[in-house]
Amino acid sequence: MSDNSSDRRHFSRVPFRAEATLTQPTQQLSCRVKDLSLNGLLTEKPPEWAGQVGDLYQIDVVLNQGELCISMDAEVAHIDPDTLGFHCQLIDLDSISHLKRLMELNLGDSGLLQRELSHLIEQHQG
């Protein structure tokens, strides 16, 4: 039985290219998003990156040339040589609505999306 990340992953990822800002009280970094899920995102690692796994950031993903934004508070889940993985801790209603719609358009499977939304709700109720 393999123990790779796809076996443990409960949320589908969709490739998505967008600009994002990673903000902490003492710094603000710009980066590019590589993919999104209902539970987090993967970004390119900014050259000036000095964070650690477990650090908390506010992440703002720019949509539609700045007309819309997905904002979330997220924890650094993993750091790789060229990428950063973030786990969503808190997201507002407008942002989750934008993210849900984006996932809906890219997954093309409303049943899968509903199962993932149910799993997300279960995770945050317990």
Question: Can you give the CATH number for the domain in which 56 is found?
Answer: 2.40.10.220
Count of domains forming the chain: 1
Does residue 107 sit in helix, strand or coil?
Answer: helix
Residue 89: pLDDT band (50, 70, 90) is: very high
Helix %, strand %, coil % for the chain, to 5? 30, 45, 25
Q: What is the DSSP letter of 27?
A: E
What sign results for the dihedral spanned by CA atoms 81, 46, 41, 27?
A: positive
What sign results for the dihedral spanned by CA atoms 51, 8, 110, 122?
A: negative
- Write the pLDDT tens digit of every residue in 30-82: 999 999 998 899 999 999 999 999 999 999 999 987 789 999 999 999 999 99
pLDDT for the residue 123:
62
Does residue 115 sit in helix, strand or coil?
Answer: helix
Buried b (16+ CB within 10 A) or exposed e, 26-44: eeebebebbbbbbbbbbbe
Q: What is the DSSP string of 90-102?
A: EE-HHHHHHHHHH
Give the structural domain span for 48. Answer: 5-125
Average pLDDT (94-103) is 89
Tell whether the model's pLDDT for residue 3 goes beyond 80: no
